[in-house]
Amino acid sequence: MTSQALAISCEFFPPRTEKGVLNLRKTREQLQVLQPTYFSVTFGAGGSTQEKTFDTVVEIQEQTDFEAAPHLSCIGSGRENILKLLQAYQAHGIQRIVALRGDKPSGWAGKIGDFSYANELVEFIRAKTGTHFHIEVAAYPEFHPEAQSAKKDLDYFKSKVEAGADSAITQYFYNADAYFRLLDSCAKRGIDIPIVPGIMPIANFEQLARFSDICGAEIPRWLRTRLKDFEDDKTALQDFGVDVVAKLCERLLAGGAPGLHFYTLNQSALILNITNRLGVLKRD
């Protein structure tokens, strides 16, 4: 198998400083070897980094041979602002969007802005721009932290597909069975869009534990305990992490995952080590 048969994508966050911008350019150049289908750029709900998302996406779209996809979260936004942003992206030739609700600000009670859930954003994008955008949405193998129940979470996921999503990217996870169960549940509900697993390399235990607590991704007990053992030995932790994540990717691909979406944290080294281990991703 080569990268041509696999949908590889890489996610960045918008850098805030000039140094960060230069680092991201270097990272992006190093990851081009994977021939990604697209590079995506996250979007901070409600504020400060939103313009930086736009600038980063446009730079990738205009200065590389690769497609750039903005994330767009709708919580707290109005229809007019979202429409302006969609039109600006269209004008820059962007054809793919990762459509999200975004995390609720703390203390949130009730509706803020014109959208409450991501299915409404997907519906809005379709209503205003027809089939122009390929729309990606989020999926949660271990369920969203606010899920009322597993069944409801899956039903709401289906509502995003019915609203017009073309494919999905999952929250990261280290338990392959949770992903395969998600695929089974979706198949039973007649959901047939590609669901690409989101892959988080293991760079730093404290940071990973913090992210995981916030987003509801589980670090299995055996893995958490092993990672704690490395304490300050960052190289040994990362080598172990590459091994764990490469094996996870192998299992996911062998079980039918249509591709891999890497959460890069704007770094390339671990992802290149993982993909080298897989031995299936580089073009000659």
Q: Which of 118, 186, 199, 208 touches ligand FAD (CB under 6 A)?
A: 118
Q: Which residues contact 55 (CB under 8 A, 6 or more apart)?
A: 14
Q: Which of 14, 15, 36, 102 touches ligand FAD (CB under 6 A)?
A: 102
Q: What is the CA radius of gyration of the chain?
A: 18
Is 146 a binding residue for ligand FAD by CB under 6 A? The answer is yes
State the CB neighbour count (10 A cutoff) for residue 106: 5
Is 153 a binding residue for ligand FAD by CB under 6 A? The answer is yes
Q: Which is nearer to ligand FAD, 142 or 238 (CB)?
A: 142
**Count of residues that bind ligand FAD according to CB under 6 A:** 24
Least distance in angstroms from the C-beta of 80 to ligand FAD:
20
Is 42 a binding residue for ligand FAD by CB under 6 A? The answer is yes
Report the sign of the C-alpha dihedral through residues 203, 261, 215, 245, in that order: negative
Q: Which residues contact 262 (CB under 8 A, 6 or more apart)?
A: 8, 9, 10, 11, 198, 199, 201, 271
Report residue 44 as tokens. Answer: 């901070």
Is 147 a binding residue for ligand FAD by CB under 6 A? The answer is yes
Q: Which of 73, 212, 238, 275 touches ligand FAD (CB under 6 A)?
A: 73
* Catalytic residue list contains 11: yes
Q: Which is nearer to ligand FAD, 69 or 270 (CB)?
A: 69
Q: Is 221 left (phi over 0), alpha (psi -120 to 50) or beta?
A: alpha
Report residue 151 as tokens. Answer: 């069944």
Give 183-186 contacts, CB < 8 A, sequence gap 24+.
183/256, 185/150, 185/154, 186/154, 186/157, 186/158
Is 211 a binding residue for ligand FAD by CB under 6 A? The answer is no
Stretch that binds ligand FAD, among 85-93, 95-103, 203-211, 239-247 (CB under 6 A): 95-103
Q: Which is nearer to ligand FAD, 119 or 268 (CB)?
A: 119
Using CA atoms of 16, 22, 28, 30 in order, give the dihedral in degrees to the nearest 10: -140
Is 123 a binding residue for ligand FAD by CB under 6 A? The answer is no
Is 171 a binding residue for ligand FAD by CB under 6 A? The answer is yes
Q: Which is nearer to ligand FAD, 79 or 144 (CB)?
A: 144
Stretch that binds ligand FAD, among 1-9, 27-35, 149-157, 204-212 (CB under 6 A): 149-157
Is 52 a binding residue for ligand FAD by CB under 6 A? The answer is no
Q: Which is nearer to ligand FAD, 143 or 205 (CB)?
A: 143
Q: Which residues contact 239 (CB under 8 A, 6 or more apart)?
A: none
Q: H helices of the chain, where?
A: 18-31, 50-63, 79-91, 118-129, 150-163, 176-188, 205-215, 221-229, 234-254, 269-278
Q: Please report, as ranges, the residues that interact with ligand FAD according to CB under 6 A.
A: 42-43, 45, 71, 73, 98, 100-103, 117-119, 138, 144, 146-147, 152-153, 156, 160, 169, 171, 198
Q: Which residues are catalytic, by number?
A: 11
